[in-house]
């Protein structure tokens, strides 16, 4: 990665956030920052990276943006005139950057926007991912993703969605949406919904980067810390999730020597900090569950108790399904199967995969084969399909 590329990845969202405040328009801010990086690509290899790369980019982007708006304003373009009027004569300072990025995150995740638009905008404006990169990540045609981004930014502009952190009474609900978007990005990266590979590492890395940013901006929010801990602990197992042939390896069969000890230690420390806060929430409880999995011997009874606590926060069929997996380790597969069969998750491939495994363990092989077939019909991820076919082929007869 070149110096310009590294600065782009680290500072793009920061610069866009400052320029959105300055110009009051996302498109103008984006174009100005992209222009500034285009200048950097030409100048920095010869002149060297400036002492304050972020300040250089912000100042250059501001000047380029003003120049462009003046040219367009001279042609009586009302949009350009409005953005130019919004800009002040004061140079943008780097001091308020923390608040600016937080404002931009909440703008991207405004409830007036569809979840798909929230995800795309977050990756585009905070992560600096190109439209093509986001389209590839979610297996959509680039023109479709481009239209989605245009519509989302247009809705922000036309509906007058405010560029600000919500008022304190509204913060919990809005923060919940922000965390959900970041976690959705991580989950799509950790187990891709379709495609030839089990994971999309770039999406995992981007979600964790956004999680770190939120933890930096909102250090007193325990659920932010809990989400970051959860992602780090889950990501720590990445290298052990597939074998040399790229095939899926279940948690119980993974080589723990391949786990990333640095991420495990960081995640566990964050969980301890959450516990000291004494204000549990769903992400913190999920992080605690994954922390227990990193103990030398997994305490399944403790995991069941943690799932019981998680059910009080998010009593969803998915949580109940995961709880049943832990119950199988404590009370046996028959008790777990009774719980699973009471869930309405027919369209969810993991429901059928878990049910197939429980039936296999009970020796009900014909039913297990049917459940494996149902799971295969409901996933488009090639690595998961290969795993399910192998498990089905291992059934007696």
State the pLDDT at residue 94.
46
| pLDDT confidence of residue 97 | 44
DSSP code at position 123? I
Q: What pLDDT does 81 receive?
A: 54
Structure pTM? 0.81
Alpha helices per DSSP H over the chain: 3-23, 26-47, 53-74, 78-86, 97-108, 115-121, 131-137, 142-158, 171-190, 201-217, 222-235, 261-277, 282-293, 300-313, 317-331, 333-340, 349-361, 365-376, 382-393
308: CB partners within 8 A, 6+ apart: 323
Q: What is the pLDDT of residue 346?
A: 94
Per-residue pLDDT in tens (0 to 9) along the chain, 397 residues = 578 888 887 888 889 988 888 888 888 899 999 999 999 999 999 888 898 898 999 999 999 888 888 877 655 565 555 555 555 544 444 444 456 888 888 889 898 898 888 988 988 888 788 888 888 777 688 999 999 999 999 999 888 888 888 887 778 878 988 999 999 889 888 887 777 778 888 889 889 988 998 998 888 899 999 999 999 999 999 999 988 888 899 999 999 999 999 999 999 999 999 999 999 999 999 999 999 999 999 999 999 999 999 999 999 999 999 999 999 999 999 999 999 999 999 999 999 999 999 999 999 999 999 999 999 999 988 889 999 999 999 999 7
Distance CA 14, CA 216 (A): 13
- The pLDDT, as a whole number, for residue 95 is 43
Do residues 61 and 15 make contact, with C-beta atoms less than 8 angstroms apart?
Answer: yes
Kindly give, in sequence order, each residue whose CB lies less than 8 Å from that of residue 112, ignoring residues fewer than 6 positions away.
Answer: 155, 159, 161
Burial track 287-301 (b if 16+ CB lie within 10 A, e otherwise):
bbbbbbbbeeeeebe
Each residue of 106-129: b (16+ CB within 10 Å) or e?
Answer: bbbbbeebeeebbbbbbbbbbbbb
Res 170: pLDDT: 79
What's the rounded Cα separation, in Å, for the pair 33 and 64? 8
First to last CA, the chain: 53
pLDDT at residue 96, rounded to an integer: 42
Residue in the structure block whose two tokens are 């995992």: 204
Residues 353, 250 contacting (CB under 8 angstroms): no
Residue 143 to residue 166: CA distance in whole angstroms: 32
The DSSP-derived string for 41-71 is: HHHHHHH---SSHHHHHHHHHHHHHHHHHHH
């Amino acid at each position: 990665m070149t110096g310009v590329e590294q600065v782009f990845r680290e500072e793009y969202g920061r610069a866009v956030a400052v320029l959105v405040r300055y110009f009051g328009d996302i498109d103008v801010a984006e174009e100005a920052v992209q222009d500034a990086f285009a200048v950097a690509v030409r100048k920095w290899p010869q002149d060297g990276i400036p002492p304050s790369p972020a300040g250089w980019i912000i100042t250059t982007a501001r000047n380029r943006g003003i120049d462009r708006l003046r040219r367009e304003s001279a042609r009586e373009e009302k949009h350009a005139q409005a953005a130019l009027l919004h800009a002040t004569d004061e140079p943008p300072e780097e001091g308020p950057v923390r608040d600016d990025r937080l404002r931009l995150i909440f703008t991207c995740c405004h409830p007036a926007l569809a979840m798909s638009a929230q995800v795309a905008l977050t990756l585009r404006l905070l992560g600096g991912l190109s439209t093509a990169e986001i389209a590839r990540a979610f297996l959509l045609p680039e023109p479709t993703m481009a239209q989605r981004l245009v519509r989302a930014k247009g809705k922000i502009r036309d509906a007058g969605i405010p560029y600000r952190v919500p008022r304190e009474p509204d913060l919990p609900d809005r923060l919940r949406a922000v965390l959900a978007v970041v976690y959705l990005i991580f989950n799509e990266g950790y187990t891709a919904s379709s495609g030839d590979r089990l994971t999309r590492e770039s999406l995992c890395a981007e979600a964790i980067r956004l999680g770190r940013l939120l933890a930096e901006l909102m250090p007193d929010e325990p659920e932010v810390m809990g989400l970051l801990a959860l992602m780090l602990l889950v990501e720590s197992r990445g290298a052990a999730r597939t074998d040399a042939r790229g095939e899926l390896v279940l948690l119980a069969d993974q080589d723990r020597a391949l786990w990333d000890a640095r991420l495990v230690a960081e995640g566990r420390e964050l969980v301890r900090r959450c516990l000291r806060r004494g204000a549990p929430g769903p992400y913190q409880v999920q992080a605690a569950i994954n922390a227990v999995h990193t103990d030398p011997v997994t305490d399944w009874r403790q995991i069941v108790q943690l799932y019981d606590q998680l059910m009080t926060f998010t009593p969803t069929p998915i949580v109940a399904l995961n709880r049943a997996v832990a119950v199988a380790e404590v009370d046996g597969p028959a008790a777990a199967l009774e719980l699973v069969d009471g869930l309405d998750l027919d369209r969810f491939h993991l429901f059928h995969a878990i049910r197939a495994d429980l039936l296999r363990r009970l020796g009900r092989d014909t039913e297990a084969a049917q459940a494996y077939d149902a799971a295969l019909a409901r996933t488009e991820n090639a690595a998961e399909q290969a795993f399910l076919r192998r498990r089905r082929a291992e059934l007696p007869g």
